[in-house]
Chains A and B, each alone.
Chain A
Amino acid sequence: MTLKEIREMIQLMEEHGLVEIELEREGMKIRLRKAGGTVPQVTMEHIPSAIPSPGAPAPLAAPVPTVKRVTINSPMVGTFYPAPAPDAASFTEVGQTVEEGQVVCIIEAMKLMNEIKSDVKGRVVEVLATNGDPVEFGQPLFALEPV
């Protein structure tokens, strides 16, 4: 995914009045979402650098939202599950307030289901990981507005 391709996608969105585009390729997924204003937001996940040029510019960073946000990041490598079982309700929904120490999701690692607890108190504004996705250490799982 090059800078040029991302710009082209943003332009496409502008031209057609699109609010959100998600593109998935082998090993990589990118989601572009138009925020309230005219500047689309960019979130990228799992960027494997196929560009082996060390002098290349740094990957795009998401524009800073106007409201303060914190993220709950994955403390381990594994597979993300938002609910305790396939047909059960999710631990955490958008709009919900979570307490510090509350279980927010499961990460499966080496056949063990690990309950992941929030280290902050806040209102969930976005779920950043998808059911069944592989996640890495430090990867943001939930965006919260602290309360």
Chain B
Amino acid sequence: MFSKMLIANRGEIAVRIIRACRELGIRTVAVYSSADATSLHVKLADEAICIGGPSPQESYLNIPSIISAAEISDVEAIHPGYGFLAENAHFAEICESCQITFIGPSPQTIRLMGDKIVAKDSMRKAGVPIIPGSVGVIQNKEEALKTAKRLKYPVIIKAAAGGGGRGMRVCHNDIRLVSALLTCQAEAEAAFGKPAVFIEQCVEQPRHVEFQIVADTHGHVLHLGERDCSIQRRHQKLIEESPSPSVDHKLRRKMGDMAVRAAKAAGYTNVGTVEFLVDQEHNFYFMEMNTRIQVEHPVTEMVTGLDLVKLQIELATGERLHLKQDEVRLNGWAIECRINAEDPSNGFTPSPGTVTQCHFPGGPHVRVDSHLYAGYEVPPYYDSLLAKLIVHGATRHDAIRVMQRALEECVIEPVKTTTQLHQRIFHDPTFLRGQISTNYLEQLLGTGEGAA
């Protein structure tokens, strides 16, 4: 087991990783930007090193600074968390060349799955169903129009180097397609460094169902069931649950097998997620693979009883995965709400500032993953996630009752948060019936906010 690890991240996930390290007896090194000096992960770690100024470029994306910090603190491993450098193959390579273990899959796998066009192609070759779309990069508007004609409107333009719901645009006709193409290419270049885009069929009223994958370095790959993440705003997840209300045993087996096949085709090791879209007829299509721990991992932890972050660390030491696929059980139902510092009544404007009052719910079957504390000043430079509220129940109905109760107890003031929106959703009949697709939130808000 590692004796010392650096956490190359911040906020709630850095706290999560430090907790796992504590329990495994691993000494922790936190890195932080000058804006995060009072952050909880800095207080909890055994050592803390300031690596740069407030912006992500100066700090959490600053590879030389982070590697330098790893060297002076003499760590054996780096956990990248999610976002920032978690899916940066170059960073993983540098860690390798410095003899520091990167907690995650190999740089080759990260690179393969990071290019969404190449990833889709690998899946197609492996016999994993993919969303109908363009073959390769769209070079110009003629190609775009030809592809759209072959498919059926609406279509979606996506950045090849994108992912996580960013760099996408839905188009309903030729005119829109042509104007969106140039914008998407420019945005892709600016955000991801590569202007390459491709086009996919828009699946009608899809559900976003993803499978948690675990793999060791000895060829043993299995899945830990699915999470339904259909409730999204602008392709950013807001609520996740496991199991999915629309996946029965048969579909779970079929999709699970495909997820494992996808992971094997990618040469996957460690912990990751295969995302699918499921249409109204229960056909499912590979969308992308996330080669990291995900925000919503607690949902799977609550139904399987496993600790995914500890598993990541153990697998990174080369340990064998002893769990067998038929030993994996999804017990009961778990649901997570992402509490963001955003004002839903004001176009979801970010709401940074000092949290003067902070009280989280407790009691049976309630879990809170957060870096908040009373007196903490939420900085404006990073994402708006304040806390994850996760509940468990014997049935979906029971879990919903716990969440309704827990949301009422939750106090975060005076910053504006999405708590009240969550309350509204958890009393909405459509949600209670489990009839959700990725258009759900847009329809509930009635403002076209749900999808970009």
Contacts and interface: CB of A to CB of B under 8 A. Distances in A.
A138 B34 contact: yes
A136 B43 contact: no
Given A54-B373, A137-B34, A48 B69 contact: no
Contacts of B53: 137
A27 B72 contact: no
A48 to B, nearest CB: 4
B196 interface: no
Interface string A109-146: 11000000000000000000000001011110000000
Interface string B339-377: 000000000000000000000000000000000011110
B8 interface: no
A55 B43 contact: no
Listed residue (A48, A78, A139) with the most chain B CB atoms within 10 angstroms of its CB: A48
Contacts of A139: 50
Interface stretch (B60-68, B165-173, B288-296, B390-398): B60-68
Listed residue (A49, A52, A138) with the most chain B CB atoms within 10 angstroms of its CB: A49
Contacts of B43: 49, 51-52, 54
Given A48-B45, A76-B68, A136 B51 contact: yes
B73 interface: yes
A77 B49 contact: yes
A85 interface: no
Interface residues of A, number: 20
Interface string B135-178: 00000000000000000000000000000000000000000000
Nearest to B66: A77
A27 to B, nearest CB: 5
Given A54-B374, A134-B73, A78 B68 contact: yes
A-B pairs with lowest CB-CB distance, top 10: A54-B373, A134-B72, A77-B68, A109-B68, A136-B50, A49-B43, A48-B47, A137-B50, A136-B49, A77-B69
Interface of B: 34, 40, 42-53, 64-65, 67-69, 71-73, 373-376
